[in-house]
Copies of this chain bind each other. A is one copy, B any other.
């Protein structure tokens, strides 16, 4: 204990925890000694005494590695300077012991809080369990599912609407949508937004031009094949994510269509593949790292370690590349 060099260890503890009951002078003296000795309080001991650790959990069940990595970075951006660490907890919602497993994880580790990206964020059972064990959380989802203090809403529908208007403005009329799986909120939100965007331009999203995929490359191929085999095939396709959009590329190639000359394509996620496929894919960008930062900051606010947040809002943006072009009369 740096106390030998100074006062008592109780006061040191007060300094560490930013207690107001320390004289300015005393605080400065102690702070100086601490940084001189390179002293850092032991997180395990603190955790034991607090009955709460300094660990943030990221519980995810997400197919996209880039999403997870970006989110991890964002969370760390927010909490690293405070000495928090990030425990990652991949899991599988379809596994029977999923709930019990996650629950025991957060309970055992006495997590400071957990960040829940889709689709675990949409699991109401899990949510109830977290409340029961008293573990703070932030849910990230396309629409609000909880009180604002515990949500990061990504407003996917806005990005989808922008994509729709973009295609409409290029003169397309036969416009198709490949949705994600029904069990994902984002599938519905992206579809809703897309329909709304078309409506903004006086167009309608026709049911026959809607196919349900699974957010996978293969499902993108399958859906696109069906669409392109129609009597009046679409001249533009909006895929619910980039994976499926890449599948549309494949199907278009097999059908002998050239993108964007014969078919315009838009994806969602603005992932790494967008710039690697040819032509580069127009896509909707979600600021994932920023979302992670905000989610973690909300945990800090809830824990009383931060006052409030600067930019608590997040919104998708359409990144126009070369996979979309003006409609050409056949």
Residues on A lying within 8 angstroms of B by beta carbon are 38, 40, 42-45, 47-48, 53, 55, 65-66, 68-70, 72-73, 76, 83, 85-90, 104-105, 108-110, 217, 246, 249-250, 253, 272-273, 275-278
Contacts and interface: CB of A to CB of B under 8 A. Distances in A.
Contacts of A73: 90
B276 A253 contact: no
Contact of A90 (B55, B76, B90): B76
Contacts of A65: 65-66, 68-70, 272
A54 to B, nearest CB: 10
Query: How many copies of this chain does the complex contain?
Result: 2
Contacts of A72: 88, 90
B110 A44 contact: yes
A43 B87 contact: no
20 contacts: A38-B104, A42-B108, A42-B110, A43-B108, A44-B44, A44-B48, A44-B110, A45-B48, A48-B48, A65-B65, A65-B70, A68-B69, A72-B90, A85-B87, A85-B89, A217-B275, A250-B276, A272-B273, A273-B273, A273-B276
Nearest to A40: B108
Nearest to A83: B108
A114 to B, nearest CB: 13
A212 to B, nearest CB: 21
Given A48-B44, A90-B76, A85 B109 contact: yes
Nearest to A100: B38
Given A217-B275, A217-B276, A272-B273, 12 more contacts: A40-B104, A42-B48, A43-B109, A44-B44, A44-B110, A55-B87, A65-B66, A65-B69, A73-B90, A86-B87, A246-B276, A253-B278
B85 A86 contact: no
A44 B46 CA distance: 9
Given A44-B53, A68-B65, A86 B88 contact: yes
A278 B249 CA distance: 9
Contacts of A217: 275-276
Contacts of A278: 249-250, 253
Nearest to A253: B278
Contacts of A104: 38, 40
Contacts of A47: 44
5 closest residue pairs by CB, A with B: A65-B69, A65-B65, A44-B47, A246-B276, A65-B66
Contacts of A108: 40, 42-43, 83
A68 B71 CA distance: 13
Nearest to A47: B44
A288 to B, nearest CB: 11
A68 B70 CA distance: 11
